[in-house]
Copies of this chain bind each other. A is one copy, B any other.
C-alpha cells in the first residue's frame, strides 16, 4: 500500500514557490541582464515543456475531439482591421497619473489596492486575522503603510460594495471615487489626476514608406473572422463548425506587476464556434448536461455581492442563467479541460460579466476564474460575440461573411418594392440621385406604404438622413406590390468564443501543484499530473560509471518507443538530491539503475508524491510506468504489481 502523505502540512508560501520557479528556470523575467521589462517573461526548459504539454492536451481536448479547423494567422495587423473591429476606439484601460511624479497607474487597480489595504487595516485594528490575502512582500509593505484604523460600518459596507462591482465603473466614476474617498498613489501618497483612456495595442508601421500603420493583435480572433468565407467553404458550406488557433498576442499593459498573471505578450488558445443565431442548441450538450459548476451570475454582482451557486450546466441552461446550450456546452468543456490538466476544481468558478464590464463586441460572457494567492483570476473567457465581428467586417469591406442555406421549402412573402426609372432619376436629381435612392431603399414597409399613397396623389416629399428634402414624382419612382419567393436563407452566424490565457492557466496550475514535505518545508514538490509534467520519468543511474550505460540507453529507448518522455540524470550528486531536484521539476516517476540492475535486470521505481519505492524486472517496471503515465492505472494499482523495495542503494539522503 502507498504511504499516506499530507500535502497541506504547511501553508502555501508564494515566496518559496517563486524561488523554486526561478531556480529551476520554469520562467524568468525577459531581458533580465538588461534590467528586465515589466510584463515580459521567458520560459525556460521546464516551463516550455509544461506549456507545450498543456497546448498538446488542449489540441486533443478541443481541436481533435471536436473536429475544429485549425488556423495560424498573422500577428502584425493593418490599422483598418482594428478600426473596424472597434479596438482602436475602445480596447483601452483607464490610467491615472501621479500629479507630482508623473508615474502612471491603472485606475481600477489603484482603487482596489487602496480600499483593500484600508479594509485590512480595519480588520487589524479590530483584532481580526489581519493576514493580507496575498503573501508577496510588496503587498505586505503597502498594507503596512495603511494605518490600522477602525472604519464605521457603513464605510466598510460601501468599500465592499465598490470592490464587488469594480469592473463596472467608467473612467468618470473612478475619478469621482478617487476624490470622494481620497484615494492616492500608495507608493508616494500623492494625489492622482483625472482617469484617461490608454489604448492597449502596440503600434508599428508596415513597409519602408511609413504610410501603413499597423498594430500587434491583442487577440487572435480577428484572424479567424477575416477568413470566415474560406473556412466555411473548407467545411463544405456546413454550419455549425469551429475554427481554433494557438498563438501569440500582445497588450501594452499600463503597469503590469503580477508575474505571469498580467503580461504584455502571451500565448492564447482561441476557438470561434459559428452557429445559426436561430438555433444555439449543441448536438453534444447531453454529454455534459450533468457537469456541476460553481457560478457567480451578473445579478448577484450588480447587487454588490459575491454569492456563488453550485449547479449542473443542464440546470443552468434550463433556468436561463447561461443563455444557451452552445455557451453552456463550452463552459462545461472548459471546466473538464482545466480539471484534467490539474487545476483544483474547488478553486474554480465561472463568473458572468456585468453589463458595463462586457467587451464592446460581446452580448454575454462567462469567465473561468481560478483562485490563487492573489485572489480570483480570469483565466478563460467564454463570450457570445453574436454577429458583431462578422457584420462590421462585412459592412466595411463589402465582402459578404454569411452562410447561405438552401431552404427545404421556399419562403413566400408579399411586399412593397421601390421601382426606379434610373434614367429619369439621374437626369432630374444628378449628384443627389444616390442619396435619394438610399433614403428610399432604407425605408421599412410601413414607410413604403405611405410613400406609395403619396406618389399615387402625384408627388411625395422625402427627407434624407442629413435633413435635405426632395420631391419625388411617379415618373421617377413607383412602389409595386410583389410576391417574393426566397429559396435561400442568408444569415450572419453568431460566434461563441472560448478564449484561453495559457500563461495564467500555467501559473495557477503551478500554485495548485506546489507543497512542501511534511517533515521539511524546504523540500518543495510540484505535484503536476503526468499528462502535463515536463518530464514523465527520470532515469537515475547510481553513478556515471560506464557499466550502467547500456542499461540507461536500453531503458531510455524502450520508454521512448512506448511514447514516454524521459530524461537521464547522471550528474555527480546523491540519488536523494537528484530526486529532490526532480520533485521540484514535477517529474512524477523515477527509476533507478544500480548494481542489482546489472546483475539481475531489476529496477526500482519511485513515486514523487509518496516517495514510495517499488522494485521489479526492468521490462515490467517499464510496462507499469507507461500505464501510469498514460493514466491507465493508479499508483495503488501499480503497487499491486510491484513489491516494496527495501534496499539501501536508492535510499534518499
Which A residues fall within an 8 A CB radius of B? 24-25, 28, 30-34, 37-38, 40-45, 47-49, 51-52, 64, 67, 69-78, 80-81, 95, 102, 104, 198, 202-209, 212, 214, 216, 223, 226-227, 229-231, 233-234, 236, 247-248, 250, 252, 254-255, 264-265, 267, 393, 397, 399, 401, 560, 563, 565, 567, 571
Contacts and interface: CB of A to CB of B under 8 A. Distances in A.
15 contacts: A37-B78, A38-B207, A40-B74, A42-B72, A43-B72, A45-B234, A47-B72, A48-B70, A51-B72, A75-B250, A76-B265, A204-B204, A208-B252, A248-B248, A563-B563
A33 B226 contact: yes
Contact of A104 (B37, B209, B226): B209
Q: Among the interface residues A212, A216, A255, which one has the most CB atoms of the partner chain B within 10 A?
A: A216
Assembly of this chain: how many copies? 2
Nearest to A396: B34
Given A44-B230, A45-B234, A248-B248, A212 B37 contact: yes
Nearest to A229: B33
Q: Among the interface residues A24, A207, A209, which one has the most CB atoms of the partner chain B within 10 A?
A: A207
A486 B168 CA distance: 66
B227 A104 contact: no
A48 B72 contact: yes
Contacts of A76: 40, 202, 216, 250, 264-265
A31 B230 contact: no
Contacts of A38: 207
Contacts of A75: 248, 250, 265
A95 B208 CA distance: 9
10 closest pairs, A vs B, by CB? A33-B399, A30-B74, A43-B72, A42-B73, A48-B70, A45-B69, A33-B397, A48-B72, A40-B74, A202-B204
Nearest to A230: B25
Contacts of A254: 207-208
Contacts of A52: 70
Given A231-B44, A571-B236, A33 B72 contact: no
B226 A44 contact: no
A64 B206 CA distance: 37
A71 B49 contact: no
A624 to B, nearest CB: 20
A37 B206 contact: yes
A206 B45 contact: no
Nearest to A237: B571
Contact of A216 (B45, B70, B78, B204): B204
A41 B565 contact: no
A49 B70 contact: yes
Contacts of A236: 571
Contacts of A560: 64
B31 A44 contact: no
Contacts of A67: 567
A30 B80 CA distance: 13
Contacts of A33: 226, 229, 393, 397, 399, 401
Q: Among the interface residues A45, A233, A252, which one has the most CB atoms of the partner chain B within 10 A?
A: A45
A70 B44 CA distance: 7
A646 to B, nearest CB: 30
Contacts of A248: 75, 247-248
Nearest to A84: B34
A462 to B, nearest CB: 32
Contact of A42 (B30, B216, B227, B399): B227
Q: Among the interface residues A49, A70, A203, A393, which one has the most CB atoms of the partner chain B within 10 A?
A: A70
A41 B74 contact: yes
